[in-house]
Chains A and B, each alone.
Chain A
Amino acid sequence: MNFRLFLTAFFFCLSLIPAAMAQESASPLVKVRLLPEYSRIEPGQEFWVGIEQSIAPHWHTYWRNPGDSGSAPRIHWNLPEGFEMSEIYWPTPDKIPYPPLLNYGYSDHVILLQKLRAPETLPDEALTLKADVEILVCKDECIPEFSTHTLQLNDPAGMSEDNASYIKSALARLPENTDQSVSITEKDGQLIVTKSLADGETYSDAELASFEYFPQDWGLVDNTKDAAASIKDGALVITQPRGDRSLGALKQSHGLLAYTNENGARNALDFTAAHEGTGPLMLSAETMPEDGQETDISMFLQAALFALLGGLVLNLMPCVFPVLSIKALSLVKIAEKHPEMARRHGLAYTAGVVLSFLFIAGILIALKAGGAGIGWGFQLQNPIIVALLAYILFLVGLKLSGYFEISGHFGQVGNALTQGGGLKGSFFTGVLATLVATPCTAPFMALAIGYALTQSALVSLSVFAALGFGLALPYLALSFAPALQSRLPKPGAWMQTFQQFLAFPMFASAVWLVWVLGQQVGPLGMMGVLFGMVAIAFGLWLLNHLPEKGLGRFILKALVVLSFLAPIGLIPAGTPPEMSDASFSSAPIKDQFGQAYSPESLSALLAEDDPVFVEMTAAWCITCKVNHAVAINTRSTKAAFAEHNVKYVVGDWTNYDEEITKFLNSYGRDGVPIYVYYGARDAQTGERPQAQILPQILTPETIKKAIREAS
């Protein structure tokens, strides 16, 4: 132990000699000491070197961004061949006021760290590492100090030195990396840093009050002003008055958020924030010019138009189309005799669709306001709803195929849902159409919904209403325009056949939903629902074969009730959406060639140089599945990925996943799919080009074009 002390002292003295030569002052204001984690190293070993500054009282040195004045220290290494040195890891600095200015730096004592990697082969002799250190130290005046230091490693004559615990204490003072998505933007003369909160990440009022923001880039904020921190919509929001540098050219910015926790310890988060203003977010409010009302209205109209078009497209989805066809056919029957009645049906149907959209959107908005990390399509993240939808589609299919023709209690429900004589029937057809349409978030809808959900509740709801109106429009038009009606084929016996045929898309949709359920709850839960379907079919059969009277009828009726209740009991319960860590949930991506998304894996990949392609998908999202099949999981795209070293990352949003929701939100989206391409890091500037969001109708060509343009 004493020997180690001696050795340290020896190195210290050694370090002073060149310092004294470079600096006229005999006793420097900053005593610099280099400390290797280990003095004996193996080939290929990675280890830390601490650059310790002992600073004279009342003097300070600087952080990497020195603030209003000053200059960051520099270390030039002279390393033996094959050694590699990382950049400097900087401990969290302090704010050092120097009115009317403010600096970011260190007082008393600080240890900068650098990571060294030894080459794969090492000579059998002592290794000498040399560092020229230049540090500006200021109090009222400033003095630059220059010193040269050497480190001896693997000295056969020296003792083995282990500073691991010392290095560990220095590492503890480094800011933590945060994997949460962080963005910066400016508004009304304030810089706004928004960091999404991780699970269980909370701050007390006292902690919030202690927040300080240290930007690595100069001029982003007025350094002398304090940051204000608050929690808003599940995110930590830091604002600080802007500095004088234009944000225009800045694509991203590194920085620290430091705070003092309840125990009085100082914590800091290290982050890389995307600058929202430069993102390709067509409908992002930040990218729009600032002249108020007018743009807001045009943005709103644009979103509403997209929503309307999206709703129209939904009519063609395989699960929606049969429902509508039946409605259209029944309309013809009615319209022939009672045109006025036809119009009423059209209105009832439209009301059903629009109100259901508003209902679902209302729930979504309320949940989001409550801080839930969910997005559009959340309905299908709940296995109970998926199971119920599967039952409904199965029932509709059975009805269409003519499996049951009954009057009575249950029959009316089926009737109301499909063919329905009354206006109520039309209304519920609208509800049904909405329910089955939600998974097929059509291409035009994502941006509109993403926009809608960032706006006030009123604007959100209006956009959703436009979406519903789009879905209802074809039928509404039909019911109001006799000219269109006359174009429909004349009713006849063929309708029966056609209706039976339409049962098959319904069954197919039901099968697909059962598969989705399988992804969510596993094979056992899936089997439960399949048995539920058998029970439904059995119950319906039984209902058609009830004895006229007697005890038998009573018992069998009870059995019917039982077989209709059984499916509900068979819905896999106790599978909360949080089960995303269960092994089944990753099943849909297991057969893909990409790696699973996590904020950690993505930021690790982005920290490297290769291009990255991110796909966010869900089992219940048809658009996603089609895109994946035709554009991603193809030989040519795989070859393009391989050729350009594109790292392919897939996020599965089949179940509730807050991290993925945050990713979607950070690109202004609120649903899947989304495809983001991060081009390779430029060898010269060390920067990545702006991330590209690819269209939601994806072709192999689009992907290749993105790869080409970014390289």
Chain B
Amino acid sequence: MHHIFKLMAAIALLFTAAPAFAEAQVGQAAPAFTATDIDGNTVSLESLKGKTVVLEWSNHLCPFVMKHYETGNMQKTQQAAMDQGVTWITIVSSAEGRQGHVSAEEAKKIAEDAGAHYSHKILDESGEIGQAYGAKTTPHMFVINPEGTLVYAGAIDDNPSPRHETVEGAKNYVLAALDDLAAGKAVEIATSQPYGCAVKYNY
């Protein structure tokens, strides 16, 4: 019975998933979403108009996520962003039964252990938000300006090595984009190739 459901779901996905994986385009309105975060608050992008928003795709078991958390790079970036009044949303799109899928309680504990900072953390186990944005890797970063336009999509920095020591000296694209926004300039590097583990979607 379970298998039949899976099969039906797969067939349904064949028809729906392809258009659903429409990638968000830099320079255009960021796809709207509404979700409940792990603390039970309702988050909607619409209600965040007027604020700069950073989306971070995460999977705590992915070595590239570990690289940026174990070196403290991600926490530093989060702190710097939130100090500027940026809303930081960490999103986990791992599907049930796949790597990185966690309960709200586990997610809280993971964040606490890592010393992570976030405004909201969303468990997107259906992959709906991830696929609307075309989130491909963990980490995959998106920056949305106060008008709701996507202004950066790509990697966190310019060094795709899994080696922890490569964090040092790498150019942090997210902080650069936030600096450009703060200076009232167009974001200079608006896209880059995201690197890391594939997002473990429900497929």
Contact check: which of B25, B131, B162, B199 meets A71 at CB < 8 Å?
B162
Which of chain A's residues have a CB closer than 8 A to the CB of B98? Answer: 140
* Residues of B close to A244: CB separation below 8 A: 23, 25-26, 134, 153, 191
Select B64's contact among A74, A142, A219, A245, beta carbons within 8 Å.
Answer: A142
Question: A68 on the interface (CB 8 Å rule)?
Answer: yes
Q: Which of A96-104, A485-493, A537-545, A677-685 lies at the interface with chain B?
A: A96-104
Decide yes or no whether A218 CB sits under 8 A from chain B: yes
Contact with B along A234-249 (1 / 0, CB 8 A): 0000000000111000
Interface string of A62-75 (1 = CB under 8 A from B): 00011011111010
Residues of A within 8 A of B61 (CB): 141
Question: How distant is the Cα of A65 from the Cα of B199 in the complex, in angstroms?
Answer: 18
> Residues of B contacting A141 with CB < 8 Å?
61-62, 99, 197
Count of A residues near B, CB < 8 Å?
27
Number of chain B residues whose Cβ lies closer than 8 Å to a Cβ of chain A: 31
Of the listed residues A66, A69, A70, A138, the one surrounded by the most CB atoms of chain B closer than 10 A to its CB is A69
- CB contact under 8 A between A134 and B131, given known A101-B136, A140-B98, A142-B64: no
Contact yes or no, A98 B198, CB < 8 A: yes
The answer to whether the Cβ of B163 comes within 8 Å of any Cβ in the partner chain is: yes
Across-interface contacts of A140 in B (CB, < 8 A): 98-99, 200
Once bound together, how far apart are the Cα atoms of A277 and B196, in whole Å? 32
Which residues of chain B in 79-99 are interfacial with respect to chain A, using CB atoms and an 8 Å cutoff?
98-99
Question: Could you tell me the distance in whole angstroms from the C-beta of A165 to the nearest C-beta in chain B?
Answer: 34
- Chain A residues with CB under 8 A of B118: none
**In contact, B191 and A219 (Cβ under 8 angstroms):** yes
Given contacts A244-B25, A244-B26, contact A101 B191 (CB under 8 A): no
List of A residues within 8 angstroms of B36 by Cβ: none
List of A residues within 8 angstroms of B191 by Cβ:
219, 244-246
A136 near B: Cβ within 8 Å?
yes
Residues of B within 8 A of A218 (CB): 193
Q: Does B203 contact A (CB under 8 A)?
A: yes
| Across-interface contacts of B153 in A (CB, < 8 A) | 244
Q: Are A74 and B23 in contact (CB under 8 A)?
A: no
Residue on A with the closest CB to B197? Answer: A142
Task: Name the one of A65, A100, A134, A245 contacting B161, with C-beta atoms under 8 angstroms.
Answer: A134
Contacts of B196 in A (CB 8 A): 69-71, 142
Q: How far is the CB of B20 from chain A (nearest CB, A)?
A: 8
Min CB–CB distance B22 → chain A (angstroms): 10
Determine the chain B residues whose CB is within 8 A of the CB of A136 once the complex forms: 63, 162
A279 within 8 Å of B by Cβ? no
- CA–CA, A142 to B153, complex, Å? 22
Minimum CB–CB distance from A137 to chain B (whole Å) comes to 10
Asked whether any CB of chain B lies closer than 8 Å to the CB of A394, the reply is no
Does A69 contact B163, Cβ atoms closer than 8 Å? Answer: no
Q: Is B201 an interface residue (CB 8 A)?
A: yes
Q: Which chain A residues lie closer than 8 Å to B136 at the CB level?
A: 68-69, 101
Contact residues of A between 498 and 535, Cβ < 8 Å to B = none
A411 within 8 A of B: no
A146 to B203, CA, bound (A): 31
- B147-168 Cβ-contact flags toward A at 8 Å (1 or 0): 0000001000000111100000
- State the CA gap A192–B17 with chains docked (Å): 26
Q: How far is the CA of A146 from the CA of B165 in the complex (A)?
A: 13
Report chain A residues within 8 Å CB of B173: none
Is the Cβ of A72 less than 8 Å from the Cβ of B62? no
User: Contacts A244-B134, A246-B191: A72 and B203 contacting too (C-beta < 8 A)?
Assistant: no
Interface residues of A in 341-398 (CB under 8 A from B): none
Most buried by A among B131, B137, B193, B199: B193
- In the assembled complex, the Cα of A98 lies from the Cα of B198 at a distance in Å of 8
Name the B residues within 8 Å of A146 (CB-CB): 163
Whole-angstrom distance between the alpha carbons of A68 and B198 in the complex?
A: 7
User: When the two chains form their complex, are residues A70 and B193 in contact, meaning their CB atoms are under 8 A apart?
Assistant: no
Which A residues between 83 and 98 are near B, CB-CB below 8 angstroms? Answer: 98
Q: Decide yes or no whether B69 CB sits under 8 A from chain A.
A: no
Residues of B within 8 A of A246 (CB): 191
A69:B26 contact, CB within 8 angstroms:
no
User: Given A72, A98, A99, A219, which contacts B160 in the complex, CB threshold below 8 Å?
Assistant: A72
**Which B residues touch A138, using CB under 8 A?**
197-198
**Could you list some 20 contacts between A and B, CB below 8 A?**
A68-B136, A69-B136, A69-B195, A70-B137, A70-B196, A70-B198, A71-B195, A71-B196, A98-B198, A99-B203, A100-B17, A100-B131, A134-B161, A138-B198, A141-B62, A141-B197, A142-B64, A144-B63, A219-B193, A244-B153
Interface of B toward A, CB cutoff 8 Å: 17, 21, 23, 25-26, 61-64, 98-99, 131, 134, 136-137, 153, 160-163, 191, 193-201, 203
Closest 7 CB pairs between A and B?
A144-B162, A218-B193, A69-B198, A99-B203, A142-B197, A69-B137, A71-B160
| 10 further contact pairs, Cβ within 8 A, besides A68-B137, A142-B196 | A69-B137, A69-B198, A70-B197, A71-B162, A71-B196, A74-B161, A140-B98, A141-B197, A142-B63, A146-B163
